[in-house]
């Protein structure tokens, strides 16, 4: 078995300057110009392996961000304009998600051939991987058409979307119109390249204390998926619009992670536009914030742990000037006592009257961000109210954020008692240049209560834009249709808008060096804004997506 698939090996993200000292045999997989993946043996199941290796080297785990809007976003007006008629012709749509139901009519031409150029299914190892990649199977357009013409398509192309999320996202962007279902994708003349992610490794779930049955994906696999999409588009010499409807609450929330770095690089290249979802953590009470500017420089906060969450992790990120110690108290008042920061410390705590085992990493600095990180991992967590006491070691003002895991990695029964809905934008949505999309209800112009809120931890304005995200019509596996709600749906909607702008700029010849960063600027400047609201803000960003207004400002209509 290849090491990148083998649970006997960790996948660790390393800087390329470190590759020569580690690069022996087949244990290195290049990710991009800055990072590579190092496969190193799992020596034991000890959670303190995270301590032996830096926190940033373990890929974050990502979850899905979704569970009419063409008129509200101005897209219908642009498509009806005879001088524009922007439907995605010449544009490649890239979707990195749970796969696609390639047999669905939403992805077929009228002659029943496919509009999908290629599928890289990372989860199937029986066929040929694409190009320089070492795992998964690539299915070309020719193979998909051969499958569609056969009596048993899955015997030729066995790739499926058993979840449905990826099919829904792809259809919102580029689904073939279906009048009887009152359905159409935003850019139905675009063609698609699909990456079906393999699930995160069990050993990585063990490191982060994620139950084995939870669906989540590795940051490193998303990066490899992006590399595949970009390589394909460059070889085809066509613009690329990418949707990432996934997110993670791990990390420093300031855009310093490996995936954010790569996205920031890509969107400044000509012909590549990327939309990412903000997340749906706004009302789940999974974020806590404190700023204490007066003596005593300490803070006490509480977490309710539900019976459905026996294992999970939480992170505390102090501000750059703070150096904090922590004391954790169980529901029946047993205590860890003071845990001070250290360089690679990982401490294990057992209790007399509490079945829980705690692992606490209080790291003086996390290498990628440079900030202190307190990582707390629960095994056999005792339900009830847990208390945390934070204390400044320098007797100075303190400020810190704490986050719980995203999506369904924990239940809604676990939450902070004095939670803060702000600064809940998920990675990679807190990076600088990628377009971060939040969701609003297009029927009453109200923000979705679950939409994550900004700003980023370093006060970068996020989200950038709001788009329709409530019960968006979509295709679903097995020739069915339904609706999708959440910031993932809004990001898909916006990806269609990005494709329209790229089509206007590059295939139509109006601006052939158009970059994703410029597209983002056009979208934010052309957004619809209410006179009673100050923009930008941490809920709506720069306003509501309005492509018709954008083109009017370009004096084309």
Give ∠ CA 259-317-383 in degrees, rounded to 5: 105
d(CA 29, CA 102) in angstroms, rounded, equals 29
Cα–Cα distance for residue pair 425/434, rounded to 1 Å: 13
Tens of pLDDT, residue by residue over 515-552, are: 999 999 999 999 999 999 999 999 999 999 998 888 88
3-state secondary structure of 511: coil
Q: Is residue 116 within a helix (H) or strand (E), and if so which, with residue range?
A: strand 116-121
Segment 71-110, tens digit of pLDDT: 455 555 555 555 567 899 999 999 999 999 999 999 999 9
> Mind listing the pLDDT tens digit for each residue in 236-265?
999 999 999 999 999 999 998 899 999 999
Predicted pLDDT at 323 = 87
pLDDT for the residue numbered 53:
86
Q: Does residue 276 surpass a pLDDT of 90?
A: yes
Note the pLDDT of residue 280. Answer: 96
Residues in the chain: 557
Range with the poorest average pLDDT among 233-237, 285-289, 461-465, 543-547: 543-547
Pairing of strands 116-121, 191-196: parallel
What is the C-alpha separation between 88 and 232, in angstroms, rounded? 17
**pLDDT on residue 555:** 60
Domains of the chain from N-terminus onward: 9-62 (no CATH), 75-282+427-553 (3.40.50.200), 287-416 (2.60.120.1290)
Question: Does the pLDDT value for residue 413 go beyond 60?
Answer: yes
């Amino acid at each position: 078995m290849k090491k990148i698939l083998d649970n006997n090996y960790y996948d660790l993200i390393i800087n390329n300057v470190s590759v020569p000292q580690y690069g022996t045999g087949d244990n290195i997989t290049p990710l991009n110009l800055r990072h590579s993946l190092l496969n190193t043996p799992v020596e034991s199941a000890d959670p303190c392996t995270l301590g032996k290796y830096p926190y940033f080297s373990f890929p974050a785990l990502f979850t899905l961000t979704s569970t009419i809007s063409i008129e509200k976003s101005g897209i219908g007006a642009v498509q009806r304009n005879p001088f524009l008629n922007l439907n995605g012709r010449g544009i490649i749509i890239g979707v990195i998600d749970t796969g696609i139901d390639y047999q669905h009519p939403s992805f077929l031409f009228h002659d029943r051939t496919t509009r999908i150029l290629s599928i890289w299914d990372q989860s199937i190892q029986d066929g040929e991987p694409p190009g320089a990649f070492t795992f998964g199977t690539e299915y070309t357009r020719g193979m998909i058409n051969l499958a569609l013409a056969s009596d048993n398509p899955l015997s030729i192309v066995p790739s499926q979307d058993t979840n449905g999320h990826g099919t829904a996202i792809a259809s919102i962007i580029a689904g073939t119109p279906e009048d009887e279902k009152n359905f159409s994708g935003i850019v139905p003349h675009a063609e698609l390249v699909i990456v079906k992610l393999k699930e995160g490794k069990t050993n990585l779930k063990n490191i982060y204390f994620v139950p084995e049955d939870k669906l989540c994906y590795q940051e490193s696999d998303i990066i490899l998926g992006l590399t595949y999409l970009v390589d394909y588009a460059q070889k085809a010499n066509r613009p690329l619009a990418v949707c990432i409807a996934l997110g993670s609450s791990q990390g420093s929330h300031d855009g310093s992670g490996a995936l954010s770095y790569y996205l920031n690089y890509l969107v400044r290249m000509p012909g590549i536009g990327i939309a990412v979802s903000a997340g749906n953590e706004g009302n789940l009470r999974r974020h806590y914030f404190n700023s204490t500017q007066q003596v005593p420089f300490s803070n006490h906060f509480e977490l309710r742990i539900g019976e459905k969450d026996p294992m999970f992790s939480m992170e505390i990120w102090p501000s750059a000037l703070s150096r904090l110690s922590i004391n954790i108290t169980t529901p029946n008042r047993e205590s860890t006592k003071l845990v001070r920061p250290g360089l690679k410390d990982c401490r294990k705590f057992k209790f007399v009257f509490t079945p829980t085992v705690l692992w606490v990493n209080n790291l003086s600095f996390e290498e990628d961000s440079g900030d202190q990180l307190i990582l707390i991992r629960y095994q056999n967590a005792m339900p009830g109210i847990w208390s945390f006491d934070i204390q400044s070691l320098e007797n100075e003002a303190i400020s810190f954020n704490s986050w719980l895991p995203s999506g369904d990695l924990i239940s809604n029964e676990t939450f902070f008692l004095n939670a803060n809905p702000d600064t809940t934008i998920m990675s990679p949505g807190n990076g600088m240049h990628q377009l971060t999309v939040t969701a609003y209800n297009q029927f009453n112009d109200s923000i979705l209560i679950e939409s994550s809120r900004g700003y980023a931890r370093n006060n970068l304005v996020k989200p950038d834009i709001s788009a329709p995200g409530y019960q968006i019509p979509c295709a679903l596996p097995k020739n069915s249709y339904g609706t999708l709600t959440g910031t993932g749906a809004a990001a898909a909607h916006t990806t269609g808008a990005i494709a329209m702008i790229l089509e206007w700029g590059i295939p139509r010849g109006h601006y052939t060096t158009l970059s994703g960063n410029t597209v983002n600027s056009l979208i934010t400047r052309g957004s619809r804004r209410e006179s009673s609201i100050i923009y930008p803000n941490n809920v709506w960003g720069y306003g509501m997506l309005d492509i018709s207004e954008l083109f009017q400002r370009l004096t084309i209509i």
